[in-house]
Structure 1
Amino acid sequence: MRAPRKPSVAVIGAGFGGLGVASVLRRAGFADVTVLERADDVGGVWRDNTYPGAACDVPSSLYSYSFSPNPDWPRRYAGQPDIHAYLRRTVATEGLRVRCGTEVTGATFEDGRWRIETSTGTVTADVLVPAVGQLSRPAIPDIPGTFAGPTFHSARWDHGVDLAGRRIAVIGTGASAVQFVPRIQPRATRVTVFQRSAPYVVPKPDRAYRPWHRHAFERYPLVQQLGRLATWGVGELLTSALTSHRSLARLVDLLFRVHLRRQVPDRALRERLVPDYEIGCKRLLFSNDWYPALTSPNVDVVTEKITELTPTGVRTADGRAHEADVVVYGTGFAATDFLAPMRIRGLEGRELADEWAGGASAYLGLTVPGFPNMFLVYGPNTNLGGNSVIAMLEGQFAYILDVVRRIVPGSGVDVRREAADRFDAEMRERLGRSAWAGCASWYRDDRGRITTNWPGLVREYRRRTARADAADYRLVTTRTPQVEGA
């Protein structure tokens, strides 16, 4: 009798998480791995975010797969087109099977397999890996009123709208706004930036790579690997500053204040650009041109609360009407709406939405009791305030591979409730005494829980996901295993 066949795997999402886990599984000999992607192309956020100036705020040496280094990055901090091209190249070099234009609407675990409902039909697999991430659904604030002109979110940039000579209202001052405002400001007649809370912005040590850099990276891969390691170490320091070592946080705060004072000579404007929260409550941002753009004569920073949209612009709480021709939202993503709007059903038809009624949680951010053979990538409590999320993702890839190797088709492995509850209690306790505990609502879901961020260093997470503990799981047997050639 031949050996049992290896489990089949369906991955949802073709961004860094989905393509990465599919690559790791394929490299380990799992041939039946299919990536389901709702869009017409791969890339995730790096396909969707095409706004002017879109780039990564993590150096390229670390914001890439360790198993697939790229010696051809044109800059230390790669732009959106180059990152998107890298992910497309990954599909080709890793031989991945991606079904684009296939939106997953729901999935049910029955008879030892996952039955996945998509816009193009039903797919079955032994293992389900949702890898839709935390940054796939743009968040648009609910503001009363209606604006008559063009309106769009930075993640859905409308390149058909000519911004030259226009009055542009920018709502939000997050990571995307810090990048696109300096690019649109020179072309616009006026840019009005509506700021709810100022971000901490520090210098971005970017540079263009010269031919000799790329030659060195290709000829001597260790050079790029050392750069990756150094960047990872700096990221760990930043993370510790945001989570535990407040003395480091004070140093970062000093760097921010020196950067602000050097680039913004006007005291009144500087005062408006100082955050009203402790460093760490929101992601630290890197930019060399954000503050110079805000000091331009055609830019106004408004801190009054927005009360309504009018047909011709934006009205604020002081009664002032700010005229605009275009409204652009730089308001981030619905990061706490994990897997929405997909409907996931586990054992005995249990709904994942019911399991998460009190707030999303998953053991190690990866798996949920009652949902066998399902492993999340970039799930609850795996985001970072500093460092590269790719380093977190690669820990998840290794863990998923370790568990999938133990799965026999026709059965399921289900994380034990007590293991998941212990982990959830740990996350609540540690996050409750972290810098994020005192933050307003930026990291909290509708129930007040912090469900996005990891409370420690990447090093700890990689250690804890290096190998799965069999004692944390129970076996769910539902039908006779299939065998190769049967």
Structure 2
Amino acid sequence: MGRRNVSIAIVGTGFSGIGLAIALKEAGFTDITLFDKADGLGGVWRDNTYPGAACDAPSHLYSYSFEPKPDWTRRFAEQPEILDYLRHCAAKYGLTPHFRFRTTITDARFQAATGRWRLHAGDGRTYEYDLFVAACGQLSNPAVPRLPGQDDFGGTMFHSARWDHGHDLTGERVAVVGNGASAIQFVPRIAPAARRLTIFQIEAHWISRKPDRVYPRWRPALNRRIPAVQKLSRLGIFLCFEAVLNPALISPRGRRVLSAPVRALCRYALRSVRDPRLRRRLTPGYEPGCKRILTSSDYYPVLNRPDVTVVDDPIVQLTPHGARTADGRHHAFDTLIWATGFRSQDFVAPLRVIGARGTELNAAWKGGARAYLGLAVTGFPNFFLMYGPNTNVGSGSIVHMLESQARYIVQAARLLATGVTSMDVRADVLDRFDAAAQRRLSTTVWNQGGCDSWYLDADHRNTNNWPGSMTGYRRRTRRLDPADYHLDR
């Protein structure tokens, strides 16, 4: 049987979408379109431009294995350098003609009669493809709470993922709501300029020092001359995550062995806070790893400044000039920055995905998001997710997981090219996978560590994390088994 041309739509142009498009092109597929509502590529690394934005995974691992970057300027790359890397990859692998920017796909509907997906754009145009991939990611929709009096606040207000660079914080009273991964990066950068900085701490986090450093000038030359040096560096980082940190999260035995050293490491970092009462308030009451362990060498020291205050009481109401907290106190400020993370359970929202039986994906997920290997959902043929349910890693690099997913989706495209018009993952296959994943997750620190995190949905079901190692996921996705799918030709 001859090979048919397969048309492929990818929504999203971050690490997921770009990595998949490169893998598809390398496999010989040419009819590929990458849609993005923004005017450029990059995903979270395009959107998160707050001061100090950087990756918390080392640069050599947080990059495609097939496209090493020998000249990273530092061990933990900052946002502009990561975005430049993605632009470089897109240009080198010829993706430019495949991008369709400033195009918001509002809904996608499977056409049972043709086995194709019809995509509807916000401007009224429609597109049809044989294979549809949502590469929206888990961290693309900012979470902004709604509080009483929010519309009455008379100052400036924005989310860290939508940073207002036109607003000067110099001499202002600034409030930051949240103290997670984003806040600990930008707080040290804005504190010196602000007249007063108030941090409304939602919950204490375990924070270790960040082993960051600028690479010496000779390092890029060495990486280019002897590529094995960079490969060994990447391998060493990978093994540290896989053999040391990952067992502390997923294995009860690993938690017993490694929890105390990790806790000691974080407590050592906390010693840089001089006030013992503040140190107690900054010490979490849950196990290390229940929420992602954060890394920073300058967040704790900045809390020693006399013009920086940490508030534990939650905000109950915004006022025209500040906020009132649960203890009745009023805190005055001119600018409010939400550092409240993302709606991590909205894997495709606001995109509406409607499957073969007219079911909308979010309705199919009313009991919790789930997908076979985080990739395929029953009733949604020829549709795949990247960075979907239960594919996040608590330690390591998501890029490794994304490369595994891209290879799997390439196999699906090859199957469609043989004359298969529809491939729909079997319900029993998805059910067995999901039951096994949730069973393994039930004994991990994320489920038993005593915290509420973005990994868990409203029913405390862990819909985000992979309950194993990165190598385990690579092994599970290495070969697409056609027997896992209902196939129509």
User: TM-score interval w.r.t. the shorter chain?
Assistant: over 0.9
Determine the C-alpha separation between the residues in 2 that align with 1:418 and 1:112.
22
Measure how far apart 1:384 and its partner are.
Answer: 1.3
User: Match for 2:465: what amino acid?
Assistant: N
Alignment partner of 1:168 is 2:174: yes
Runs of 4+ residues deviating >6 angstroms: none
Does the 8 A contact of 1:243 with 1:280 survive in 2? no
Alignment partner of 1:256 is 2:266: yes
1:181 paired residue number: 187
Measure how far apart 1:410 and its partner are.
Answer: 6.1
Does the 8 A contact of 1:177 with 1:330 survive in 2? yes
Deviates more, 1:307-316 or 1:435-444: 435-444
Measure how far apart 1:24 and its partner are.
Answer: 0.6
Q: Which of these residues, 228, 231, 242, is aligned with residue 234 of structure 2?
A: 228
User: Match for 2:262: what amino acid?
Assistant: V
Determine the C-alpha separation between the residues in 1 that align with 2:160 and 2:223.
33
Does the 8 A contact of 2:322 with 2:333 survive in 1? yes
Measure how far apart 1:3 and its partner are.
Answer: 2.5
User: Match for 1:98: what amino acid?
Assistant: F
Alignment partner of 1:332 is 2:341: yes
* Residue pairs, 1:101-116, within 5 angstroms: 101-110=102-111, 111-116=114-119
1:240 paired residue number: 247
User: Match for 2:452: what amino acid?
Assistant: S
Determine the C-alpha separation between the residues in 2 that align with 1:249 and 1:156.
36
1:155 paired residue number: 161
Deviates more, 1:324-333 or 1:398-407: 398-407
User: Match for 2:116: what amino acid?
Assistant: R
TM (norm. structure 1) is 0.96
* Residue pairs, 1:113-128, within 5 angstroms: 113-120=116-123, 121-128=125-132
Determine the C-alpha separation between the residues in 2 that align with 1:234 and 1:332.
27
Alignment partner of 1:468 is 2:480: yes
* Residue pairs, 1:276-291, within 5 angstroms: 276-291=285-300
1:418 paired residue number: 428
2:37 paired residue number: 38
Measure how far apart 1:221 and its partner are.
Answer: 1.4
Deviations 1:141-173 (A, max 9, x none): 222213210000000000111101111000000
Determine the C-alpha separation between the residues in 2 that align with 1:451 and 1:279.
20
Determine the C-alpha separation between the residues in 2 that align with 1:411 and 1:284.
45
* Residue pairs, 1:29-428, within 5 angstroms: 29-96=28-95, 97-110=98-111, 111-120=114-123, 121-146=125-150, 147-236=153-242, 237-244=244-251, 245-246=254-255, 247-261=257-271, 263-408=272-417, 411-428=421-438
Secondary structure in 2 matching 1:387: coil
Determine the C-alpha separation between the residues in 2 that align with 1:400 and 1:287.
36
Q: Percent identity?
A: 52
Determine the C-alpha separation between the residues in 2 that align with 1:4 and 1:118.
30
Secondary structure in 2 matching 1:174: coil
TM (norm. structure 2) is 0.95
Measure how far apart 1:83 and its partner are.
Answer: 0.4
Secondary structure in 2 matching 1:406: helix
User: Match for 1:468: what amino acid?
Assistant: L
Determine the C-alpha separation between the residues in 1 that align with 2:90 and 2:485.
32
Deviations 1:310-342 (A, max 9, x none): 111111111111110100011100001111121
Secondary structure in 1 matching 2:197: strand
Secondary structure in 2 matching 1:375: strand
Measure how far apart 1:249 and its partner are.
Answer: 2.1
User: Match for 1:404: what amino acid?
Assistant: A
Determine the C-alpha separation between the residues in 2 that align with 1:125 and 1:431.
36
Deviates more, 1:135-144 or 1:435-444: 435-444
2:8 paired residue number: 9
Deviations 1:60-82 (A, max 9, x none): 10001011111121111110000
Does the 8 A contact of 2:420 with 2:487 survive in 1? no
Unaligned runs of 5+ in 1: 478-486
Secondary structure in 1 matching 2:416: coil
Deviations 1:157-192 (A, max 9, x none): 001111011110000001000000000001111110
Does the 8 A contact of 1:372 with 1:476 survive in 2? no
